[in-house]
Amino acid sequence: MIKIKCNGKDSEIKENQSIMDIINTYNLNPKSVVVELNRDIILYADFENITLQENDVIELINFVGGG
């Protein structure tokens, strides 16, 4: 297990989890989530490629439709 901070909360996750894996655990549509990892914006195309590391700080901002 590794420690990360997700949306301001400390949490423990299994090793070798991608950003896509984390989004899926929250049952969100990955294409409607804005992801900030250690203050960098990560685009959807990279969600599968980036694996979370110990002490990462990740923010997931989910968007819902309507305008």
Partner 1 sequence: MIKIELNGKIIAVKKTTQVKDIDNLSDKYNQENSIIYHNGYSANLEDTLQESDKLAIIKKNIQPSNDELESLISARHTPFVYEKLKQSKVAIIGLGGLGSNIAISLARMGVGKLKLIDFDHVEPSNINRQQYFLDQLWMYKTDAIEETLKRINPFVKLEKTPLKVTAENIVEILKDYEVVIEAVDGAETKSMIISSVLKYLKASYIIGASGIAGVYDTSSFTYKKISDRAIIVGDFEHEAKKGAGLMATRVAVAANIQANIAVRYILGESLND
* Shortest Å, Cβ 66 to partner 1: 4
- In the chain, the amino acid numbered 28 is L
Strands laid side by side in the 9-13 sheet: 9-13, 2-6, 57-62, 33-37, 40-42
* Shortest Å, Cβ 64 to partner 1: 3
39 lies in the binding site for partner 1 (CB under 8 A): yes
Residue 5 C-alpha from the chain's centroid: 10
Residue number with CB closer to partner 1 (15 or 49): 49
Given the rule CB under 8 A, which residues bind partner 1?
29, 31-36, 39, 41-44, 59, 61-67
